[in-house]
Amino acid sequence: MSNSQKHDFKHASEILSQIHSIDNKLKQIIDDESKYEQEVRNFAEAMRHETISTTLKNIDIEQTNANKNGIRVSLLKSAGIHNIQQVLDMPYGRLIAINGIGNQTASKIRDAANSIYNNVERTVRLRIDPENRTSNASNLVQFIYILHKSSSIRVDSHRLYDENHSSINEKARNAKIAQSRLRWMFSFRNKKDKALACLSDLEVLLSGDLKASADVINSEFTQIVIDSTHSSWTDFEANSALYYAMLESIAGSKLDKGVTHGGLSDSLVEMVEAYPLDLSLMKTTLRGYQLFGTKYILCQKNVLLGDEMGLGKTVQSIAAMANLKAKGMTHFVVVCPTSVLINWSREVVQHSTLNVFNVHGKDRDNTFSMWVDDGGIAVTTYGTISKLDMPKDLKIDMLVADEAHYVKNPYAIRTQSLLELSKISESTLFMTGTPLENRVEEMHFLVKCLQPKIATEIYGMGHILNAPHFREKVAPVYLRRIREDVLTELPELVEKEEWCRFNKQEIDAYRESVFLGNFMAMRQLSWNITDVKSSTKANRLLEICEDAKMNNRKIVIFSYFREVIGKVCTLLGEQCMEPITGSISSQRRQEIIDEFTKAAPGTVLICQVIAGGVGLNIQAASVVVFCEPQIKPSIENQAISRAYRMGQIHNVVVHRLLVENSIDERIMDLLSMKQDIFDNFAHESVVAEENKKMSEKTWMNSVIQEEQERFGVVQVS
């Protein structure tokens, strides 16, 4: 019998076909990344054009004559042209053909329309709205979903392909003659032997881990593509921040670099941008402004990151520590308020591969010792650091102080303990969304802790005339970006003042509080009556909650007073979660947030404004209610920022429950005045000492006195 009769050519062809199929599928999964990224860019641009067109359709044709340049708009309207998009869509010849419009007028009209288009094109921002699922938006979300969900699969594909491709290629080339009867007949014995040996090796690969692993990879990738058609929007709603980060990374950012860089000088920006960042230990894609912030932290070493709340200061600090870890450094410490301790530990695990140690509570000493031995991130509290037994030779590679305004008092034990830690730290990062609170002394002290030389240079510069010079001086230590500048995809924030009128029970209770001069009781007006169901604020709250439920929204309610929180809980019953107050442990707070996130629309979360207004992420809520106005705008801003932050996809409506002709009006006036000061100074990295003019105690006494005079209360001396 001849060799050709003994050899199974069909079997050889099947082996080579299968091995090539595996190799090609692995390569296709790898190559599909660039294909899907291009689809993301295409649909992002299509959505952008949709947004521009919609905006132009809403701009009245009257705007072509906004500069009074003699355009007879009535002629355009008579021809059925009512908006700017219609002008841009109309061929020039048809425009000239309109009765009464010649070449000169047509040119003016087209120039005006083009000018409006250029302005819209320059300022429009891309927003993915789950309530407006256009074809382009759905395709965009679907392709980002595939890229996101398949990232680990592509890593496995790369590994498997790189490990086997060269060998498969070589063996398949040598074994090729084994599938052709003619080539086999005219080949030498040594080539046949080599072909059979290679064929045998390929058969082993097919019966072993390669085929099994490749089949799993291909099956999982195929399933992701199938799931993307029905799961992508749900995943977007749960992880919108990740989607926007990926979109920015793939399609490019249209942000003005000035806002990303926080207005720093060109020379400092150039130095920061040149920092070689290693994010190999990060699981999360950073936004452009976050990448710059991370480089700034690492480049400048001892800094204050003052980004507005909700911009992801935590992830920037984790990225900085991950970079240092990737470069061989080992020990990092995060000091934070107890209320956000658990959240910090979760964020480290979610965003990086770094080990995290929760140094707090009964087991803190043992956990601290483990961190000293093993390295990683030790997350602890301001109240704990003074109790830790620090080894004399301990060196910290980075110290992060979250909510750094907690250390504004230089004589407090927690401040002194933190500063002792900073002495053994290679770099120190202070973070706070409201670092200034209108007090130049606090700003100066924080800067002094970080870079004393700069603190000396800026001393006494806290007024608006020196703003540009101040920003230049403070730039090496202070970086601040604000929400509306960098989170352009955020939905609308609507703030409503819900004014109520006193009923008889409320006015009697309020008059008694005024008579006693009880400021805190005065602030609880409408809530401090016997039957809460008779409260005008309570009835308005019920209406707001019912409306939110009908619109598939969740609600977060804030009050300063536990008594009010108790009455709101009674009022709403099973509709509300367990309230978050100062007595709730940090772990339980996070559990409540998790439960609230999973709860049905219409569910209410009630928070004491100090306990729930700091450090927690409550994007599941898109309706925010304040039972009474707060004394500081920073307190209200922090509370609102729990919901209105990166990851929020719904319009957020803030309701303030207020009563006419009461202390509520005076507090709202105070808030407005303080917010104006903060907007004019803090956002430009400058603060004013306006609070020196009137202390809170003086202001409270003044309000009490005025209300007593209004109610005819006679003070007995």
Element (H, E) at 478: strand 478-479
Give the span between the Cα atoms of 377 and 331, in whole angstroms.
6
| Domain boundaries defined on the chain | 1-254, 256-485, 491-710
Identify the DSSP state of 573: G
DSSP letters for 359-381: --STTHHHHHHHHHHH-EEEEEE
Spell out the long-range contacts of 30-37 with Cβ–Cβ below 8 A and sequence spacing 24 or more: 30/154, 30/157, 30/158, 30/161, 33/147, 33/154, 36/143, 36/146, 36/147, 37/147, 37/250
pLDDT at 101: 85
Fold of 256-485: Rossmann fold (3.40.50)
| Assigned CATH for 491-710 | 3.40.50.300
pLDDT of residue 683: 44
C-alpha–C-alpha distance, residues 395 and 372, integer Å: 10
Q: What is the mean pLDDT of each run of 10 residues along the chain (717 residues)?
A: 64 89 92 94 93 90 81 85 90 86 86 89 85 93 95 93 90 85 83 88 86 92 95 91 90 65 84 94 91 96 88 94 97 90 88 95 93 96 92 94 85 92 95 63 85 82 54 85 80 87 92 93 93 92 92 93 94 93 86 92 93 75 94 84 84 91 87 60 41 64 88 65
d(CA 503, CA 532): 12
Give the angle subtended at the CA of 69 by the CAs of 63 and 73, to the nearest 5°.
Answer: 50
pLDDT at 485 (0 to 100):
80
Q: What are the tokens at 164? A: 């086997």
Residue appearing with tokens 């429009």: 124
The SS3 of residue 494 is strand
Binning the chain into helix, strand and coil, the percentages to the nearest 5 are 60, 10, 30
CA 624 to CA 560: how far, in whole Å? Answer: 14
CB neighbours (10 Å) of residue 215? Answer: 12
pTM for the predicted model, two decimal places: 0.74
Q: Which two tokens stand for residue 325?
A: 């870890």
Residue type, 51: T
Question: Can you give the pLDDT at residue 259?
Answer: 67
Report H helices in 261-302.
266-273, 288-300
Q: Quick one: DSSP state of residue 488?
A: T
C-alpha 127/C-alpha 117 separation (Å) is 19
- Vertex 175 angle, CA 172 and 180, to 5°: 120
Residue 322 and residue 580: Cα distance in Å, rounded?
A: 32
